[in-house]
Structure formats: C-alpha cells, structure tokens
C-alpha cells in the first residue's frame, strides 16, 4: 500500500500536469481583419495563431491594395512567404506566419526588404486581371526573385461563367512561389508554375556541360 503522503504528492503532480497541459494546449491569438481587432480568440494548439499580410502594388497607377488578418488557423498552420515582380510594374508579396503561444501573432508584418540589384535571371513578365492571357515582355529579376513563374488566378467564390474574374501574370518570383495553390487577396485562387528563364547566352550552357561531362569521364 502506498502511504497517504505518496498519494498526496501523486495527486499534486497530476493536478500540476493537467494545468500545464491545459495552458500549453490552448492559448489566445489576436483576431483582426484589416480593421480594428475583435476580442482575442482562443485557439487549440494544433491550429496555431496566424498572422497574414499581403500587398498588390502597381507602380504605373501609384496604387496598392493591402490586406492583413490575424486569428486562429482553421486547420494546421503552414507558414508561407513569397514575393513576385510581374509585368506592367505590378508587384505582389504574401507573408503567412504561424506561431504557437499566447498572443504570438500580435506584431504587425512590415513586408519584405526587397533588393533592387539584378541577379542575372531574366523572365517574361506580364499582368492582367481582365483576361486569361497577356503579352509577355522580358524583365530583369532582382534580389531573391530568382525563379520565373506563371500565375493563373480565378475567382475563389462566386461566378464561374464567362463573367468570372480572372487574372494571369508572369514574372520573377522567389523559389517559394514555384508551386502554389493558395487563395490571395481574399478571393482569388492562384496556381503557380515555374518555367525556364530567358537564357541570355544559349550556346554557353551546352558547352560548359559537355566540358564537365568530359572531365567526369576523364576522372572515371
Ligand atoms: C483578352 O485577350 C485577347 C487575346 O489576346 C484580346 O483579343 C482581348 O482584347 C483581351 N481582352 C481584354 C479585355 O483585354
Ligand atoms: C536587363 O539586363 C541587361 C543586362 O543583363 C541590360 O542590358 C538591360 O538593359 C536590362 N534591361 C532593363 C529593362 O533594365
Ligand atoms: C488546391 O487547393 C484546394 C483547396 O485547398 C484543393 O481542394 C485542391 O485539391 C488543390 N489542388 C491541387 C492540384 O493540389
């Protein structure tokens, strides 16, 4: 028979464990959507708090559309951040952050620090939100945008007929934007695909690779 003091300490351990469990497995997240925040939400640990900000900017129009939101993620939270420079002076960035502790999503996302230094990659770029195709022109990529992507957007909710809003874009993106299937700007489902960059100097690559092959053959 265990002594009563052993039982007592066992009980205390259980109560402490249950307390630790309940505080670790749910917490409050700030809850907002581009407006003053509503009361904090209590989230399950498996959901996580999210902090999302995204911005579409048009240099030509001198206008930008920013959206931000915070809350409990409905399913398991997956962080994702990418930037894109598209045709007609359009740029887009998206930052979805996940965290798992009390009010960990309270900070405001300020957006990426984008470098304007060319990185040597050149992509076809265009942008339209009126059509399903556009006329691509070459664009020099900068900073971390080292991939060439095609972006196809369809309206997430609402009409699917010929009147449905569509978007089509090409341009330079970060590698994280290569294979997306996400909803952006509240109601546009985008799918992205990366394609080969415009090669500035086509004959060079085969020459280098055949030289390398020759070296490997020599070594072997
Ligand atoms: C959509 O693209 C087609 C083919 O390039 C073009 O003929 C048409 O004028 C475009 N429509 C709009 C609204 O830009
Ligand atoms: C793009 O870069 C090339 C050099 O790689 C340069 O000759 C060209 O002027 C640049 N184009 C623009 C639009 O800046
Ligand atoms: C894209 O995402 C939607 C919703 O998250 C999902 O239903 C669909 O199957 C996905 N498509 C692909 C090809 O992964």
4-23 per-position pLDDT tens digit: 555 555 544 444 444 444 44
What percentage of the chain carries pLDDT values higher than 70?
Answer: 76
Ligand 1 surroundings by CB, under 6 angstroms: 130-131, 133
The per-residue pLDDT of the chain, averaged, comes to 81
Atom from ligand 1 closest to the CA of residue 135:
5
Q: Tell me the mean pLDDT in the region 131-142.
A: 89
pLDDT band at 27; cut points 50, 70, 90: confident
181 CA distance to ligand 3 middle (Å): 6
pLDDT at 146: 97
pLDDT at 7: 54
For residue 74, the ligand closest to its alpha carbon is 3
For residue 181, the ligand closest to its alpha carbon is 3
Atom from ligand 1 closest to the CA of residue 128:
14
How far is Cα 69 from Cα 26, in angstroms, rounded to an integer? Answer: 20
> From residue 177, how far is each of 81, 123, 194 by CA, in Å?
8, 14, 8
How far is Cα 149 from Cα 191, in angstroms, rounded to an integer? Answer: 10
- Would the pLDDT of 62 be above 60? yes
Q: Tell me the mean pLDDT in the region 30-50.
A: 81
Question: Could you identify the residue written with the tokens 């952006």?
Answer: 184
**Ligand 1, atom 8, residue with closest C-alpha:** 131
- Would the pLDDT of 204 be above 70? no
Q: Tell me the mean pLDDT in the region 161-188.
A: 89
What percentage of the chain carries pLDDT values higher than 90?
Answer: 50
Global confidence as pTM: 0.78
Query: Of 73, 74, 69, which Cα lies nearest the Cα of 36?
Result: 69
Position with higher pLDDT, 61 vs 214: 61
pLDDT at 182: 93
- With the most atoms of ligand 1 within 8 angstroms of its CB, the residue from 87, 131, 136 to mutate is 131
Domain ranges of the chain: 28-107+119-219
How far is Cα 24 from Cα 44, in angstroms, rounded to an integer? Answer: 9
- Would the pLDDT of 217 be above 60? no
Sign of CA dihedral 150, 155, 157, 162: negative
134 CA distance to ligand 1 middle (Å): 8
pLDDT in tens, 71-110: 988 888 889 999 999 999 999 999 999 998 889 999 999 9
- Would the pLDDT of 219 be above 90? no
- Would the pLDDT of 175 be above 60? yes
- Would the pLDDT of 144 be above 80? yes
Q: Tell me the mean pLDDT in the region 150-154.
A: 93
Position with higher pLDDT, 94 vs 27: 94
């Amino acid at each position: 028979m265990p002594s009563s003091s052993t039982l007592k300490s066992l009980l205390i351990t259980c109560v402490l464990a249950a307390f630790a469990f309940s505080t670790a497995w749910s917490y409050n997240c700030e809850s907002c959507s581009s407006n003053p925040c509503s009361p904090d939400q209590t989230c399950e640990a498996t959901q996580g708090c999210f902090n999302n900000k995204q911005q579409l900017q048009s240099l030509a129009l001198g206008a930008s559309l920013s959206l931000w939101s915070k809350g409990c993620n409905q399913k398991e939270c997956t962080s994702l951040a990418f930037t894109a420079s598209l045709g007609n002076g359009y740029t887009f960035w998206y930052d979805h952050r996940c965290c798992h502790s009390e009010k960990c999503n309270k900070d405001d996302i300020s957006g990426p620090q984008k470098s304007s230094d060319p990185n040597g990659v050149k992509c076809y770029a265009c942008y339209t939100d009126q059509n399903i195709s556009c006329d691509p022109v070459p664009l020099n990529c900068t900073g971390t945008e080292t991939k060439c992507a095609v972006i196809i957007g369809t309206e997430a909710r609402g009409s699917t007929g010929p009147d449905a809003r569509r978007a089509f874009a090409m341009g330079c993106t970060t590698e994280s934007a290569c294979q997306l299937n996400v909803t952006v700007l509240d109601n546009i489902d985008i799918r992205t695909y990366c394609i080969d960059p415009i090669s500035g100097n086509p004959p060079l690559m085969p020459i280098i690779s055949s030289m390398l092959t020759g070296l490997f053959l020599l070594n072997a």
